Amino acid sequence: MGVIIEVRNPLEDLEEKIKAHKRRFWRKVILTTITLLAAAASTYLLVELQTYNVARTVQSYQDAGNDKNSYMQFSNGVLKYSRDGIAFLNRKAEEQWNQSYQIKNPFLNINKDSVVVGDRGGNDILVFNKKGLRGEVHTNYPVESLAVSENGIVCALLKNENTSLIVCYDAAGNMLVEHRASITGTGYPIGMAISPDGGMLQVSYLCVVDGVQATRIIYYDFHNGGTEESEQQAAEEVYKNEIIPMSFFVDDNTSMLISEQAFYIYKGKDKPALSKKVELNKEVKSVFYDDDYIGFVLKDDSQDKNELRLYNMSGTEKLSKTFEGEYSNVKIADGSVMMFDGKQCAVFTTWGVQKFDGEMEENILDILPLSGINKYLVMSERGIEEVRFGK
């Protein structure tokens, strides 16, 4: 009986070895990648889930900071303003433009890349964008409040001796619309907002209806070019026993109205109508918002505590967080809720982690987040500093 001997092809052996080598190689690559990702995730969570209490200066910028300057976040930078003028700085405190003026009581209203500066109690209004001055307005009556659209249309509430005027101007200073308010008619205007395209104006009037205090909400539509108030009025609603002094437009189709214990969402570009009412069931202490969230600091039932609550622009609650302390300034930007009062500061993420609880070296005038881990830009009487939170 013969013996059969199977002779393997050496090329097949070589292919098997190559395949085995590749399998071992990719197992190592996958395991190494998983290990690195796990380490990165652990480091990220370790950094992001901690509360820091020390702010270390990383960089001080050569800015002529003094107690006469005020600061406000604008577009991708910062506005520095005083009675003598206004300047736009980038996040390295480098001046992009500067405009001098003489305004006794300057105050600002910002909408995206447009900003209007008014003289409260005076007669001067200046309109700017990221490139600088766009137009100036000199009013016949003292300025009480202002609102500006994204494209630079300005609505001004002017105070006359016997009545109030609401006047709208284009960015070049040309008058577009004038409405006269009266206590016995619409009521006294206490708040206003203008849509991003400048075509819709919302005004809140304090009035008395059926013997009780109320707020009359009126939307004026300028899209169709009507000149009479009756032609421009697009919607009206009266809320008895409520004061609604604050409002803003989310976009051309959506606006928000905020009362003492609730907020209202109106929808519709041509004829705005109430879409949703959200009860807060607590006293509102502060209101703040950005493109994605509307937020509130609410008086909590517990003593010495407040509640931070965030909603998306559809009125769905996204965060509820109790905290201690009182802060006169609250803002939201780039996923951070920043609270400050004097030197004291608290920072929360929009998912509820308290990132910072401590003091700065100087009284805080404004603060905004920077790219990078725990980095923020702080404006104070001393000037502008880049800080990093640590232990």
Q: Each residue of 58-107: pLDDT tens digit? A: 999 866 555 688 999 999 999 999 999 999 999 888 999 999 999 999 99
185: nearest Cα among 244, 230, 155, 130? 230
pTM score of the predicted model: 0.85
DSSP assignment letter at 38: H
Predicted pLDDT at 46: 46
Could you give the 3-state DSSP secondary structure of residue 24? helix
Predicted pLDDT at 223: 80
| Mean pLDDT split into 10-residue runs, the chain, 391 residues | 56 68 78 70 55 93 70 94 95 93 96 96 96 94 96 93 88 87 87 95 95 96 70 92 96 96 95 97 94 94 87 97 94 96 97 95 94 92 91 86
Predicted pLDDT at 45: 45
Q: What is the DSSP string of 87-110?
A: EEE-TT--EEEEEE---SSEEEEE
C-alpha span between 383 and 30 (Å, rounded): 49
Predicted pLDDT at 303: 72
Ranges assigned E (strand) in 121-242: 124-129, 132-138, 143-148, 154-159, 164-169, 175-181, 188-194, 200-209, 212-221, 233-240
